Structure 1
Amino acid sequence: MADKQDKSQTKPTSLQATIAGGFAGLLCIAPLDVVKINMQLQTNRLEGLKWAKRGIVHQTKGIYKEFGARGFWRGNASAQWLYLFYGGSQFFAYDQIKRALAKTDLSSESKHFISGAVAGTFATVTTYPFDILRTRFAAQSKDRVYTSVLDGFQKMAKAEGFRGLYTGLAPSIVSILPQAGLMFVGYEALAPVFKELNLPFGAGDFLAGAVASGAAKTAVFPLDLIRKRLQVQGPARSKLAYGAIPEYKRNMFAAGRAILQNEGPRGLYRGLVIGVLKAAPTASLYFWFNARALEILVQNEIFA
């Protein structure tokens, strides 16, 4: 009994944190992500597609009518690779930064914010090409531009060069710094509170992740929208999102100004509700599964 207690209090190794984070990253919610991306890519040019401008329900019906049930999993192969590598690299970096800051005099909130912000940035940069491809797959019409993950990378690299694989990276980093930092601060603060409720199946981690992620996502949503608009620039732009995406300068400030001028402030929040509905449960599963996976790895001394 004492041995089990000691193991439960053992801190996970960096390898255990990376593996648990990678598997946690696989728990994405593809249908909600597809609907969110399509709503973010809407502009005032979508006049002929009535369903595209009537909110979540009509957007969902429209995708189903246009593509069938399979349409909600467009780009899911690239998404799985994205979330696998993103989750692993994020929790690896988070663990490393927390260890490095452990001996400093910073407050616990500051340590968690810095660790989360740096980890989120590291994961974003290392997996960004998968993120672009995921967005473009979700924005394709029936006349597909990309047929597979490999085909997508080859076409983007040939037509847009190395820079094309990182289009929209600046707003991604600007948004992920506060979002990841706030998410981890919120989770680390709320998890112990919910844990005291002794909820079944470790539901405290689930609820803490939902609240923390929802708040963080709302705070930075306009930057996320600008990122999606920039990700579908390039030679294939006219073939994505029904050809309705304007051409923006590859600058987040210029793109933001253009959206405000043409669509008003509301244009920066297209898809916010579905974005939060997707982010909250995804993060909940993300943190919950990561916590459960760490327990199994640590208690059984796997990859210790």
Structure 2
Amino acid sequence: MGVVQIAPLMGCNFMFYRLFTNTALEMKGVTDRKQLSTVLLLSLGAASGMCSKTIVYPFDLIKRRLQIQGFAQNRQTYGKQLVYAGAINCLLSILREEKLIGLYKGMIPTLIKSGATTAIHFSMYDKLSQIVEKL
């Protein structure tokens, strides 16, 4: 399940970052990312991370729900114990019992984390690339 989530996440991260960066270049009337500020690069990275995570979040939720069902005995005080036969059963159960919105339960903290980490990764990559080019 992790591979099903990571490959699209990384692909979307790069796609959105490139899309947002190209849009920023056009809006600023410049041709090189070196001409964009660090704050803008951080913002573009955060936006790309948040957009990407929104797309793959249902896979992350399913993965987490499948992982925690093995700890049912330790989670007896946390409400209803959910048991699924697999990823498809988990998806269908969520849609049946919680509707489409259930696939996005708990997404806000994940978006904050994803936005921050992706912003740092892409802005550091751009800035380190500039340093290496000067060497």
- Under TM normalisation by the shorter chain, which class is it? 0.7 to 0.9
Match for 2:82 among 246, 255, 270?
A: 246
Give the secondary structure class of the aligned counterpart of 1:215.
Answer: helix
How far is the alpha carbon of 1:284 from its aligned partner? 0.9
The equivalent residue for 1:266 is 101
Kindly report which structure 2 residues correspond to 1:104-123, keeping only aligned pairs within 5 A, or say none: none
How far is the alpha carbon of 1:225 from its aligned partner? 0.8
Extract unaligned runs of 5+ from structure 2. 29-34
1:293 corresponds to 2:128: yes
Identity %: 27
Provide, for residues 240-295 of structure 1, a one-character-per-residue CA deviation record: whole Å limited to 9, x for no partner: 4954441222x210111122233232221111233223322221112112222343
Structure-2 separation of matches of 1:280 and 1:213: 5
The one-letter code matched in structure 1 to 2:84 is Y
Contact 1:194 1:205 in 2 (8 A): no
Structure-1 separation of matches of 2:36 and 2:7: 31
How far is the alpha carbon of 1:203 from its aligned partner? 2.6
Match for 1:283 among 78, 101, 118?
A: 118
Structure-2 separation of matches of 1:240 and 1:213: 31
The equivalent residue for 1:224 is 60
Which one has a bigger Cα radius of gyration?
1
Query: Relative CO higher for 1 or 2, CA cutoff 8 Å, sep ≥ 6?
Result: 2
How far is the alpha carbon of 1:219 from its aligned partner? 1.7
How far is the alpha carbon of 1:297 from its aligned partner? 4.5
TM-score (structure 1 length as normaliser) = 0.37
Judging by fraction of residues, say which structure has more helix: 2
Change (3 A) 1:229 1:296: same
Structure-2 separation of matches of 1:289 and 1:175: 24
1:181 corresponds to 2:11: yes
TM-score (structure 2 length as normaliser) = 0.74
Structure-2 separation of matches of 1:178 and 1:291: 22
Extract unaligned runs of 5+ from structure 1. 1-169
